[in-house]
Chain A
Amino acid sequence: MTGHPFISIEDLAKVYGDTPVFEHLHFAIDKGEFVCLIGHSGCGKTTILNALAGLEEASEGAILMGGREISGPSLDRAVIFQSHALMPWMTVLDNVGFAVKSRWPDWSGAKRRAHALKFIDLVGLAGAADKKPAQLSGGMRQRVGIARALSIEPKMLLMDEPFSALDALTRGTLQDEVLRICHETEQTVFMITHDVDEAILLADKIILMTNGPHAVIAEIVVNTMPRNRSRTDLHRHPHYYRIRNHLIEFLVDRSKQFDRANADFDPRHPRLTTPGLDGPESDVTASSPLRNNHGAA
């Protein structure tokens, strides 16, 4: 690693009243990396994402992008909202076109339209460009949200549980497409999820948050499965159940009882673990030799 990491979060904390929801957060995201954040409700996940988006200010600490501090929202960081947040009075094309015009106000109408249609096509909605969001299914609406976010060609994509409101089948299809699109465009992504399988499928690194208040990063799990994994053959890979069990065991037990007084715990350098590489009988909490070695590939 030379120079600054793409995104670097330094000592971030959010305090409501007297109680910090989360504190001492340190982590970095490299260019092209897909990072998921997992934790129970109330650990401030959405606040972290909003801070990254620039929609909310953290109480302490800083977020650096390319070495410069983030202040306020920017077209460099596109957000895919949990509730799709489409403007219901605009057609699909207008929703995406609105974003395109925000990014390139000087473009001609025809150029904007062509650009917007390209991304509507990318998410498979070519035939629905002139429909209003109310005429679309939940999955299609979220596709429009994805097209809108991608259409401004952001340096980074922020997703706040984008698939949680969808039924299982739709969610699966959309996960596949997001995976494909992000790999094709080498998009840097930060995503919040509740869903362990979603994290394993999509993420290169999975950040585990302990329960709030006073939530901290317990560890960062490196996804050691090959990047060309797919939803259908995920479970055949030997690493899959090791990672999955590790994550579930964390969410069920350790997220509550995390011992921050432990001498091993250093908030500045959250432990990187590779449960996928551990043998079946080895201790899943064992420290990994990969600390400070970014990138799963």
Chain B
Amino acid sequence: MISSLRLRAAIVSVALLAGFLLLWHLGTQGTAPTANLDPEYARLMGATAVEGKSAFPGPAEVLGKFWWHLSHAFYDNGPNDKGLGIQLIFSLARVLGGFGLAVAVALPLGFLIGMSPLMHRALDPFFQVLKPISPLAWMPLALYTIKDSATSAIFVIFICSLWPMLLNTAFGVAAVRKEWLNVARTLEVGPFRKAFRVILPAAAPTILTGMRISIGIAWLVIVAAEMLVGGTGIGYFVWNEWNNLSITNVINAILVIGLVGMVLDLILARLVKLVTYPE
């Protein structure tokens, strides 16, 4: 029954995709050539006006370009003309850098907050104020103090990945079952062994769920951050292609951003599953 449900869902998915592509294709057919334009005016107006070509690329054009990007992923023709693969590597490096820093801060701090009701109460008002701030709002401050656009982007990723991880770690640590802690106490387990053998594995599913949320947000934010700081990265690529008026490339970049985000989420989901224990 499950496999048949899966099969039926897959058929519906494919049908929806086919329908969407068909509508897209029909919607970008264009009109008949406009008659009797002055040749000089026609040259100014371009193919859209003269041949009635749609201003928006059709699916065939986009997929063709996508294939081209796949086969030319790592070319480098100078600052504003790099392959999508190179741009993705820049973006991923920033995301992983900021995310890694956030892990390094959120885990120990989350442990502290989770173990100490005093620190939890004392720090809570700060979190309540800091959490809803859009990470991009930090950008001017980061640029002003760090004075380096690449590092500022990493800082923005750090800030946006910090909160979900921190709060989930604190919650996971605070919610470790009392009986497991009591077992550790009656066995006279030392604080480090208790932290690594009891609390960490007990809270790991919650902590990694926080990381999964964080990496999702980081991937959302990096696009916007790179549009602001410019230079490299998939976000900059989108903005640059918009300035080039290459809608085909913009759509390609959107597709790639979605696919990479999905892969990141799948990796973290896999890790969550690895540390989840059935009770």
Contacts and interface: CB of A to CB of B under 8 A. Distances in A.
B182 to A, nearest CB: 6
Interface stretch (A72-80, A180-188, A231-239, A253-261): A72-80
Contacts of B277: 88-89, 132, 134
A78 B186 contact: yes
A99 B201 contact: no
Nearest to B193: A102
B179 A85 contact: yes
- Overall SS of chain B's interface: helix
Interface string B43-84: 000000000000000000000000000000000000000000
Contacts of A6: none
A81 B186 CA distance: 11
Contact of A79 (B182, B189, B197, B279): B182
A interface residue count range (under 10 / 10 to 19 / 20 to 34 / 35 or more): 20 to 34
A55 B186 contact: yes
Interface in B130-161: none
Interface string B179-207: 11011011111000100011001101000
B183 A85 contact: yes
A87 interface: yes
B179 A81 contact: yes
Given A55-B182, A134-B278, A134-B279, A89 B187 contact: no
Interface of B: 177, 179-180, 182-183, 185-189, 193, 197-198, 201-202, 204, 275, 277-279
- Overall SS of chain A's interface: loop
Given A132-B277, A132-B278, A134-B277, A85 B187 contact: no
B180 A85 contact: yes
A83 interface: yes
Nearest to A55: B182
Contact of B279 (A54, A55, A72, A88): A88
A103 interface: yes
Given A73-B188, A98-B187, A152-B187, 11 more contacts: A53-B182, A55-B185, A73-B187, A74-B186, A85-B177, A85-B180, A88-B278, A89-B204, A98-B197, A102-B189, A134-B279
